[in-house]
Chain A
Amino acid sequence: AQSVSQHNHHVILSEAASLELGCNYSYGGTVNLFWYVQYPGQHLQLLLKYFSGDPLVKGIKGFEAEFIKSKFSFNLRKPSVQWSDTAEYFCAVNGGGSQGNLIFGKGTKLSVKP
């Protein structure tokens, strides 16, 4: 069965620090990869997605992620975080499911100190 691991449960950064959130998945076939963000009290919104092509994907709000197939990884990065990036971030994988079901990681809570 597929699984998604997010390495950090809670990350605390100061504004302007660089961010990297880890995500690893277990599935050997073709995958589609997603990062979703959930701001406090809100629903999930798509940050970025990878289907094929350039493994470096750029999303909204200055986020990017790199798909490294050999490492089964899809890490999320941002060069300089802002207080408004405080949120929970979820990595999700869609691969081989019967109807395109997403498998979510457990999430990483990011707190940015002003």
Chain B
Amino acid sequence: NAGVTQTPKFQVLKTGQSMTLQCAQDMNHNSMYWYRQDPGMGLRLIYYSASEGTTDKGEVPNGYNVSRLNKREFSLRLESAAPSQTSVYFCASGVGDRSYNEQFFGPGTRLTVL
């Protein structure tokens, strides 16, 4: 079991460029999540997908879009990158229903926007 995998590990973009961060899980989990981690801010939820075919906004969705391609894959897209989106991005997948949600995290993508 690879768990949660993310690509790429590192990325440098120029302002205005677009890119897609990929995430896949092999644990047959229904829910998947995208977070960003900034120094002193903890993790903040960008978007989540409770199940295949559904996506919802989290705390900080502006400037991002997501696609739940199938049960395994959940991608995050930056259409026009901005320096404020420089961050470490973590994907996670979740066990259980709404009340019991232990999450498993991927290794992260470190993104720098110049």
**A-to-B contact residues, CB < 8 Å:** 4, 9, 30, 32, 34, 36, 42-46, 49, 51, 90, 94, 97-102, 104-107
Contact = CB atoms under 8 A, between A and B. Distances in A.
A94 B101 contact: yes
A98 B45 CA distance: 13
B44 to A, nearest CB: 8
A45 B42 contact: no
A81 to B, nearest CB: 22
B25 interface: no
Q: Closest 7 interchain pairs by CB?
A: A100-B101, A106-B42, A104-B42, A99-B50, A44-B105, A100-B98, A104-B43
Given A43-B107, A104-B43, A107-B42, A99 B56 contact: yes
Contacts, number: 62
Interface of B: 31, 33, 40-45, 48, 50, 56, 58, 90, 92, 94, 96-108
Given A42-B107, A100-B31, A105 B100 contact: no
Nearest to B91: A43
Contact of A98 (B33, B94, B98): B98
Nearest to A99: B50
B100 A100 contact: yes
B21 to A, nearest CB: 14
Contact of A32 (B33, B41, B43, B100): B100
A44 B102 CA distance: 12
B98 A97 contact: yes
Given A30-B99, A90-B42, A106-B40, 18 more contacts: A4-B42, A9-B40, A32-B101, A36-B105, A43-B105, A43-B106, A44-B90, A46-B102, A46-B104, A90-B43, A94-B101, A97-B98, A98-B98, A99-B48, A99-B101, A100-B96, A100-B100, A101-B58
